[in-house]
């Protein structure tokens, strides 16, 4: 059961997660999980372990990821967390003082565009299937379609969205 916000009703839910590269805004990894209180951080850690093998990599995210245990796990993987900070943040000045931190905060917007496109054009607003494996496949194909449309834009071709 999952609530999107305070006062909202609980529902059975799946969450789709995407790891985006910053230069072109392409999805490089995806994960679909059952909704839990830590599903977003768990999926981010799983994808980071799979894709971010180079020491010195950075991972940008919103305030929901600013948790001491998660920051510690990323630092153990030699990944620098570039999250928006909570009032009592787990991210200290050794990270926030660098120019790259500011750049990462600005680069967070395209990941929201991925989910916006996926919900409006890709049909991810509502799961069309029952079962984690089938919803995972739906998510994978939706993100692949997003990447194809994004690459068409990158290479100067506009696709009709009829």
Distance CA(48)–CA(108), nearest Å, equals 16
pLDDT in tens, 87-144: 888 988 888 888 888 888 888 888 899 999 999 999 998 888 889 999 999 999 999 9
pLDDT in tens, 50-64: 999 888 899 988 888
How many residues are there in the chain?
A: 162
> Domain of 114: which CATH number?
3.30.420.10
Helix pair 39-51, 68-76: axis angle to 10 deg:
10
- Has residue 21 been placed in a domain? yes
Handedness of CA 117, 120, 121, 125 (dihedral sign): positive
Nearest residue to 122 via CA among 141, 139, 148, 142: 142
pLDDT of residue 76 exceeding 70, the answer is yes
As a whole number, the mean pLDDT across the chain is 88
pLDDT of residue 6 exceeding 80, the answer is no
- Has residue 72 been placed in a domain? yes
> Judging by beta carbons within 10 Å of its beta carbon (0-12, 13-18, 19+), is residue 107 exposed, middle or buried?
middle
Average pLDDT over residues 1-10: 67
User: How many domains, the chain?
Assistant: 1
Helix (H, G, I), strand (E, B) or coil at 69: helix
- Has residue 155 been placed in a domain? no
Integer CA distances (angstroms), 35 to 4, 6, 39, in order: 10, 16, 6
- Has residue 5 been placed in a domain? no
- Has residue 8 been placed in a domain? no
pLDDT the model gives residue 157 = 75
- Has residue 80 been placed in a domain? yes
> Judging by beta carbons within 10 Å of its beta carbon (0-12, 13-18, 19+), is residue 59 exposed, middle or buried?
buried
pLDDT the model gives residue 132 = 93
pLDDT the model gives residue 158 = 66
pLDDT the model gives residue 85 = 86
Which residues have a Cβ under 8 Å from the Cβ of 5 and sit 6 or more positions away? none
> Residue 84: which pLDDT band, with cuts at 50, 70 and 90?
confident
pLDDT the model gives residue 119 = 94
* Domain housing 75: 14-148
């Amino acid at each position: 059961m999952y609530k999107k916000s305070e006062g909202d009703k609980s529902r059975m839910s799946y969450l789709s997660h995407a790891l985006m590269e910053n230069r072109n805004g392409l999805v490089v990894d995806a994960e679909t999980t059952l909704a839990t209180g830590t599903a977003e951080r768990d999926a981010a850690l799983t994808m980071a372990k799979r894709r971010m093998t180079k020491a010195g990599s950075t991972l940008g995210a919103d305030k929901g990821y600013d948790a001491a245990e998660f920051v510690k796990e990323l630092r153990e993987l030699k990944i620098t967390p570039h999250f928006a900070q909570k009032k009592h943040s787990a991210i200290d000045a050794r990270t926030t003082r660098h120019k790259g931190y500011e750049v990462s905060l600005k680069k967070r917007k395209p990941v929201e565009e991925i989910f916006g496109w996926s919900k409006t054009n890709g049909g991810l607003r509502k799961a069309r299937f029952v079962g984690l494996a089938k919803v995972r496949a739906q998510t994978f194909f939706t993100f692949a379609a997003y990447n194809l449309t994004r690459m068409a834009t990158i290479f100067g071709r506009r696709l009709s969205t009829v």
